[in-house]
Structure 1
């Protein structure tokens, strides 16, 4: 169904985003987006401005073939009287350049990370029922478990996190929601051994590895999302060494700016020749290699293209469902010289 673009900007709240979101819609959109030819200029690196106890992070993207383009902005006040952080995704209409929507980015950030991992997992893991081992019991762990259940039938979920109550709460919540047996264990190795899929979604206390290569059986697919900057650790260098196919959502950023890969390089592990982009995976360039891989791994740091693709899915669904808030505002539209300018009231003047 094609939905008309709003004539003035709309707002999609976190509650509305959650109400209309479907994992399979987001996974399919991400797979289609990453399968298209990718221009590095359309997804420049994130920027972070800091000063005066505040930080502003910007993740811009123009996804190929998308109806919208835009950026996620994250503002954080660390030294104010009431410190906090808010996210907003601003979407522009590709045909007109006009601002189409502001989407609350807090929910989208968790949803897009898990949906991206599921989009990769769907191509990396064998198409059969799977036992899932989870390291972590927070938001990312629960989101990923839900997303994985949308692309694979889960026979059992086994979870470890350092806090007994949190892992028990995770087990109860996920079991009730998904109708899958979920078991909490008190050692990380017990969650991982024998698993067909392993999710590492919990950086350890003290930034020490929480997943080791000799815990993994052949045929396991690993998804690691917890080490996104140089000082963060999650998986041991032995996992990187054992993995025979490593897929990254942002290739150079994963290989050069995450603590796990920097530690692996320092340990002498060679991984460049077996590391590839998510675009290569979803465009089909790795079909032969993934078919013979015995321990594939997906490693993620997140990117603006994921935010924009998933925000477009949410905006489209929210418009169809009438779950948007119309904003009583209009922006002036600037036109190049020689082209007639259309004013925000709809009248055209030369």
Structure 2
């Protein structure tokens, strides 16, 4: 009844036990499948620059047959670093599609981190050479870390990881995170690191191309994470036309992803590979790219997962929300 309605609030600490990497991976896999079947809808993205250098965006969508509706308000506030906080901020709201009333308000930072890492993991599973043993990652932030973590979980043959920083300095804490799981060390020559790697992961603010196209050798797979706004890029000019390009959503990738720089390059949605509508059919010499811009459906399926878990286990804050 309207007067008995309640709203569940899940803060950062509440999510700690609700976000399990394997479960998030399956929720993201389902999001891509829903998108491929067009059972889930992705609404137009809002992504706008703010005074002071920040970016604010809204990603929203629904799955009508599963009564799933909601949005994520998120963006990037670089000044947060000076406050000791994370620049990426996100809040997810799940809504009852029958009434329009909110069901849950969820801290979206951890969800965004894990769902993006899981999407990258699916890209590696589907597109990277199975015999891949070496990777390089550009960036050492939250997203770079989760991308490497998932890569090591899903690719048992991955032995060597080289990372690159914007200032060329070591990040001992980043190395310590993966100690014992791989041979990890700083690389200072971007082109050499790319040339020596089977897998390249770019997880930076996406201000400019990070390496030369000629450094990418046949057989390489690239997960491009950082370009999610008009004008951002990490990959060099001339690379995408040489590649087999995979995206989460064709229109979105051409608007705000790496594909904005090569909009005429043919691309395949990763969900279509998962549903069998399209085939990856990787050849050993293929260069493959997964252009990851992030789908609202990823946020919604993972948010549903944690909200259901919270209700079942009595986690979070339940407050009266009469109408």
Note whether the superposition's TM-score is higher than 0.5: yes
Match of 1:172 among 176, 183, 195: 176
Q: Is the 8 A contact 2:39 2:64 kept in 1?
A: no
Change (3 A) 1:318 1:125: farther
Give the count of matched residue pairs. 312
Note the alpha carbon deviations across 1:125-161, whole angstroms, 9 max, x for none: 2334532211111121112111222322231211111
Q: Is the 8 A contact 2:116 2:294 kept in 1?
A: yes
Note the alpha carbon deviations across 1:6-46, whole angstroms, 9 max, x for none: 96221111122233212221111221232235439821112
Q: Which residue of 2 aligns with 1:212?
A: 212
Rounded to whole Å, the distance in 1 between the matches of 2:185 and 2:78 is 38
> Does residue 159 in structure 1 map to residue 166 in structure 2?
no
Change (3 A) 1:219 1:48: closer
| Deviation of the 1:109 alpha carbon | 1.9
**What's the TM-score, normalizing by structure 1?**
0.76
Q: Which residue of 2 aligns with 1:277?
A: 269
Rounded to whole Å, the distance in 2 between the matches of 1:276 and 1:301 is 14
Rounded to whole Å, the distance in 2 between the matches of 1:225 and 1:157 is 17
Q: Which residue of 2 aligns with 1:189?
A: 191
Q: Is the 8 A contact 2:127 2:280 kept in 1?
A: no
Rounded to whole Å, the distance in 2 between the matches of 1:68 and 1:151 is 29
Highest Rg: 1 or 2?
1
Change (3 A) 1:235 1:9: same
Note the alpha carbon deviations across 1:236-270, whole angstroms, 9 max, x for none: 12321321x21111212212444x434446xxxx5
SS of residue in 1 equivalent to 2:271: helix
CA RMSD of aligned residues (A): 3.4
Match of 2:93 among 80, 90, 95: 90
| Deviation of the 1:88 alpha carbon | 1.7
Q: Is the 8 A contact 1:168 1:184 kept in 2?
A: no
Higher deviation after alignment, 155-164 or 124-133: 124-133
Q: Is the 8 A contact 2:39 2:63 kept in 1?
A: no
Change (3 A) 1:171 1:49: closer
Rounded to whole Å, the distance in 1 between the matches of 2:168 and 2:46 is 38
Q: Which residue of 2 aligns with 1:14?
A: 12
| Structure 2: runs of 5 or more not aligned | none
Change (3 A) 1:20 1:161: same
Match of 1:123 among 118, 121, 126: 126
Note the alpha carbon deviations across 1:272-324, whole angstroms, 9 max, x for none: 3xx11222222122225446771111001122111111212222333344332
Q: Which residue of 1 aligns with 2:69?
A: 69
Structure number with the bigger relative contact order (C-alpha 8 A, sep ≥ 6) is 2
**What's the TM-score, normalizing by structure 2?**
0.82
